[in-house]
Copies of this chain bind each other. A is one copy, B any other.
Amino acid sequence: MNRKVDILVVGAGPAGIVSAVTARRYYPDKNILVIKNVANGCIPCGIPYMFSSLKNPQDNILGIDSLTKNNIEVALDEAVKINREGKSIKTKSADEYVYEKLILATGSSPVIPKISGIDKKGVYPIYKDMDYLKTCVEEIKKAKSVLIVGGGFIGIEFADEISNIGGIDVYLVEALPHLLTNSFDQDFSLLAEERLKARGVKIFLNTRVGEILGKDKVERVRFETGEELKIESIILGIGAVPNTKLATDAGLDLGRGKGLWVDEYMRTSDPDIFAVGDCAGKRDFYTRRDTAVMLASTATAEARVAGASLYQLKVVRENKGTIAIYSTYVDGLVLGSAGLTETSAKKEGFEIVAGNTEGVDKHPKGLPGANKIKVKLIFSRQSGILMGGQVSGGISAGEMINIIGMAIQKRVSLTELETLQMATHPYLTSAPTMYPIVLAAQNALGKV
């Protein structure tokens, strides 16, 4: 089959879906087709919650309703070759799609470490494929023990959820001295570690898996320290690499990073080919270095830029660079991070000043459901500009990190934060006299 489409999107994860839907909004007369290579995708950040929080793992499906209701076609197939001269794509089913504009949203693949025994049964990398994941969940639930490799967001969320099930010994192993070190300074990492330990999760820090042992199936792991554990299943949560082969085979440029080189409007080195999401390279907001942020929220922001910019650059892009902005949830504790940590800012060479505060997220603090809240803000010392923030607290901390994210993106200063106008309410926030973003800014100001 040979078909002509106007806009062709490869990939139906959040980046693919949002770029297609945005393209529909900006270019209502174009025909749009999305090629997806897994029958049933899933909501990436919902994967850990398929174990316990969701009644039915199937509820985590990433539907394509938003495509069909926006008059966007979907084909289940896999793009295998780009012909840039002919502006077409070949698929696994030997179909050919001719495009005017091509959006690559090919995502990323889990890192599979080169460990002896990694290919044994019972070792589960996290592929974003509902049918695969449902099997993983079933198998892991049958096990008596699970080792999660990698103490980043995914790792701690799996550990939290699986420890909820009961009856499974949960182990978490991290090569670095603390969990979550990419996004949090030590005092925040410790909070997550405490919660997981209290749930019975056994954490190994400064530790690497040396070997996976067993006949066909995982039976034990041996850490590089020599220590051994009896283990029935292993989840790999140590990061992902961009899926760029389709693009690089066609001569598209990677630039200096591992993702595809893109300009401010998500155009690759071929002006008719865009790349969005995990497969696209990202430039750090502060330094313009390559940064390995792979988040669905980042992907959707990029997809909105690409979808609008296919035939014309409709708007000037305002934020030139990616900030890492995350939140996570462990045993009721919310942790959020935006921008640089104190550690990462110093490593990057910034002279900074950090402000800290701790309080309660309701007022008076005797109100039911009050949680401790802790905020840290990192400012450039001389320029006074906000460069990063971390929050821990209850549910409200999940949006509080987005206040900090907005402030970073708008390059808000220390002195502006000190006199911020904000809404406060007994059930919803700290007292106006104690609003943590303001107090953390004041604490930093006291050190300048």
Are A426 and B322 in contact, with the CB atoms below 8 A?
no
A262 to B415, CA, bound (A): 20
Query: Which secondary structure dominates chain A's binding surface?
Result: mixed
Q: How far is the CB of A359 from chain B (nearest CB, A)?
A: 12
Q: How far is the CA of A43 from the CA of B425 in the complex (A)?
A: 11
- Chain B residues near A316: list those with CB within 8 A: 415
Closest B residue, CB atoms, query A323: B421
Q: What's the nearest-Cβ distance from chain B to residue A447, in Å?
A: 12
Question: A159 CB to closest chain B CB, in angstroms?
Answer: 15
Which residues of A70-109 have CB atoms within 8 Å of chain B's CB atoms? none
A319 interface neighbour in B56, B297, B322, B419, Cβ under 8 Å: B419
Chain B nearest CB: distance from A377 CB in Å?
13
Assess A402 versus B419: contact at CB under 8 Å? Given A53-B367, A428-B329: no
Instruction: Choose one: B14, B318, B327, B431; the contact of A428 (CB below 8 Å).
Output: B327
A295-336 residues at the B interface, CB under 8 angstroms: 295-301, 304-305, 308, 315-319, 322-323, 325-329, 334, 336
Query: Which of B305, B328, B420, B421 is in CB contact (< 8 Å) with A419?
Result: B305
Q: Does A60 belong to the interface (CB within 8 Å)? A: yes
Q: Mark A151-193, 1 if CB is under 8 A from B, else 0.
A: 0000000000000000000000000000000000000000000
- Is A210's beta carbon under 8 Å from chain B? no
A418 contacts B by Cβ under 8 Å: yes
Determine whether A366 belongs to the interface, using a CB cutoff of 8 Å to chain B. yes
CB neighbours of A315 from chain B (8 A): 415, 418
**How far, in angstroms, from A308 to B419 measured CA to CA in the complex?**
10
Residues of chain B within 8 A of A428, CB atoms compared: 327, 329, 334, 395, 397-399
In the complex, chain B residues whose CB is within 8 Å of the CB of A418: 304, 308, 315
* Nearest-neighbor residue (CB-CB) of A298 within chain B: B421
Q: How far is the CA of A53 from the CA of B45 in the complex (A)?
A: 35
Complex Cα spacing A53 to B317, Å? 47
A446 to B420, CA, bound (A): 31
Q: Are A432 and B363 in contact (CB under 8 A)?
A: no
CA of A368 to CA of B45, assembled, Å? 16
Q: Which of B298, B328, B432 contacts A300 (CB 8 A)?
A: B432
Cβ-defined contact, A421 with B366, below 8 A: no
Nearest-neighbour CB distance to chain B for A406, whole angstroms, equals 5
Which residues of chain A from 411 to 437 have a CB within 8 Å of any chain B CB?
412-413, 415-416, 418-429, 431-433, 435
Knowing A17-B433, A412-B410, A432-B299, say if A422 contacts B395 (CB, 8 Å): no
Rounded to whole Å, the gap between the CB of A374 and the closest CB of chain B is 15
Output the nearest chain B residue to A399 by Cβ-Cβ distance: B399
Question: CA of A432 to CA of B413 in the docked complex: distance in angstroms?
Answer: 27
**Additional 7 contacts, C-beta under 8 A, given A14-B432, A299-B432, A304-B442:** A14-B431, A53-B427, A296-B432, A297-B435, A304-B438, A308-B418, A397-B428
The 7 closest A-B pairs by CB, nearest first: A398-B428, A399-B399, A59-B366, A297-B432, A410-B410, A315-B415, A327-B423
